[in-house]
Amino acid sequence: MTRPSRVRIDLDALRRNYASAKALHGGRVLAVLKADAYGHGAVACARALADGADGFAVAFMEEALELRRAGIAEPILALEGAFDANDLEAAAQHRIWLVVHQERQLAMAEHAGGPSGLTVWLKADSGMGRAGFPLAELGGAYRRLAASGRVDGIVLMTHFARADEPDARATADQVAAFDRACAGLDAPRSLANSAGILQWPSARHAWGRAGILLYGADPMPAGAPKAASLRPVMTLESEVFAVRSLPAGAPVGYGGGFVTRRPTRAGLVAIGYADGYPRVAPAGTPVAVDGRRAALIGRVSMDMLTVDLTDLPEAGIGSRVELWGRQVDVNAMAVAAGTIAYELLCNVKRVPRVYEEAGKAAAPAA
């Protein structure tokens, strides 16, 4: 008998979210597939988007080459850039675009060998304080690349530190500072990440980079205006496989930290922290059982967790339990667990992925 835990990936929702991002941004948009498409499966997601996407972005060369080996021909940007000369050679051979964000990478790009030139996304630090050339050095770095004879195209880029804070001035300041630094440089610009696409019209330049919004998780805080209609792509689910009747005052799970306050029907669910469900999720964390609201009780174990079925008399063995998806917002789940949706989605493991499309039968991951 097969363990009932699985993660369902709605490829139609993925395409719809990308189309919404592109329509809102107005220019070209890269679909960000780093970290195995935020836990959704990079190859499957790239294939689903290949007919409509302007290109893809990944973290590093190994992720880019995985897509090329799978037959993905669209542009692919490696966001961390080249780590060594082998990366540079592979980028030229496989037509991988590279971010250049530091002097060592700039020098390597200037002297790159091989039969074809590189496409470089030259990154400036406009206030993130992480990677990128100081704004005062952006013009000089651009002119060095343009004069090198080894670069076929340059895009100027920066990254936002606080675009998910709609009331903060930091993003507007970054946009203004970056645009001033780019004045007189003949190259397209890329500023907007997911939050930038959704919230900051001034950041919608030639290229956007759609990450978390692609997967239907809104990067903006609760209560912020919804600038696009996002649909969850991932549904993490399992089933109740045992039910116990507990008296009031009974401890549940490791440590006995949760104690029932009333006679309780407790449903044991076949999923745990080894599957990526966060161990730190507290009692009261929302779940959906057969489409109805319920809550976690007791501590999450490695392979299972417990939910309260007391108010759901029809639920029992075989009842479907959604941990997050269309009924349980992954952002709300993340708040309950003291983390962010990015981490939850990226951490899913061990459970099989099932890909779904309208008019097609569910298919397991290849």
Q: What is the rounded distance in angstroms from the CA atom of residue 37 to the CA atom of residue 241?
A: 31
Which residue is catalytic, options 18, 22, 34, 277? 34
Establish whether 34 is a catalytic residue: yes
Residue with structure tokens 């501590």? 299
Helical residues (DSSP H) of the chain, grouped into ranges:
11-25, 34-39, 42-49, 61-69, 85-94, 103-110, 135-148, 170-182, 194-199, 330-337, 341-347
Q: Work out the number of other CB atoms within 10 angstroms of the CB of residue 89.
A: 14
Q: Is 254 among the catalytic positions?
A: yes
Residue 359 DSSP one-character state? T
Please name which of 190, 182, 226, 228 lies closest in space to residue 209, comparing C-alpha atoms: 190
DSSP track, 210-250: E-GGGGT---SPTTS---S-----EEEEEEEEEEEEE-TT-
Among candidates 87, 28, 92, 88, which has minimal Cα distance to 54?
Answer: 28
- Please give the positions annotated as active site: 34, 254
